[in-house]
Amino acid sequence: MDLNSDLGEGYGHWTLGDDDALLEVVTSANVACGFHAGDPATIDRTVRRAVERGVAIGAQVSYPDLVGFGRRDMDVPPADLTADVLYQLGALEAFAKAAGSRVRYVKPHGALYNRIAGDPVQAAAVVEAIRRYDPALPLLTLPGSAAMQAAGAAGIEAVGEGFADRAYTAEGRLQSRREPGAVLHDPDQVAARALRMATEGRVETVGGGEVAVEIRSLCIHGDTPGAVALAKAVRAALDRAGVRLEAFA
């Protein structure tokens, strides 16, 4: 099982999250590529540290929306979206290459991630960027999403990920953040869900039932002090249970 988290999400003078703490926990780092966060100097630092710790580097590509942190849905035409993803992929790759490594996977960020879970047009545009850049690069996304289907149709590997701190619907979708109880905060509960997802491929749903989630990675948030504690609890639970943690890519 892989543990992934968003890193390098500062911008210039502004910082966000505790990257050093997270790099001790995760096996894959989704590095911001400059469109929602991540100026070049921040990318440089983040990539160097990740490489030093043997953490795999993924391109956390986004809509071009610094002020909105990439969290606002945008109707970017497909050809522009493909170009946006290519641009970010290449930019990050330069730092990975300079640090003696390379970009191992792509994970869209924020509103783009959510959009391509359901929108086949934008999903295909993102996948097209990967196909043109390097068809061997996997896409990290939601199991059963439009993105996963678009990847499959293009012969790109798609890797499913789970969210131990998010409530799931009976269909295996994430409960909207607007609903109460959508985000879980209790470290024990989150760690237990992570362990079950990792070992059994199942998770309890909001309705009290359970649903299969075919995942090879667990996403861990780290942009708050509490989130780092949660991340450590998940890692500890998996370690204790003997789950082998390694980058999927």
Least Cβ distance, residue 82 to a copy of itself (angstroms): 8
166 phi, psi to nearest 5 deg:
-120, 145
By CB under 8 A, residue 207 contacts a copy of itself: no
By CB under 8 A, residue 14 contacts a copy of itself: yes
Least Cβ distance, residue 215 to a copy of itself (angstroms): 27
Please state, as a whole number, how many other Cβ atoms lie within 10 Å of the Cβ of residue 186.
12
Minimum CB distance to a copy of itself smaller for 35 or for 163: 35
Among 74, 211, 229, 245, binds a copy of itself (CB under 8 A): 74
Minimum CB distance to a copy of itself smaller for 82 or for 217: 82
Residues 6+ apart with CB under 8 A from 142: 113, 117, 148, 160, 161, 173, 174
Residues 87-126 within binding reach of a copy of itself (CB under 8 A): 87-95, 97-98, 111
Q: What is the x/- site pattern for a copy of itself, positions 37-56, by CB under 8 A? A: x-xxx-xx------------
Selection from 29, 9, 17 nearest residue 71 by Cα: 9
Among 2, 19, 29, 34, binds a copy of itself (CB under 8 A): 34
Minimum CB distance to a copy of itself smaller for 90 or for 225: 90
Amino acid at 243: V
By CB under 8 A, residue 66 contacts a copy of itself: yes
Kindly state the tokens that stand for 87: 């641009």
Selection from 160, 34, 39, 152 nearest residue 85 by Cα: 34
Amino acid at 155: G
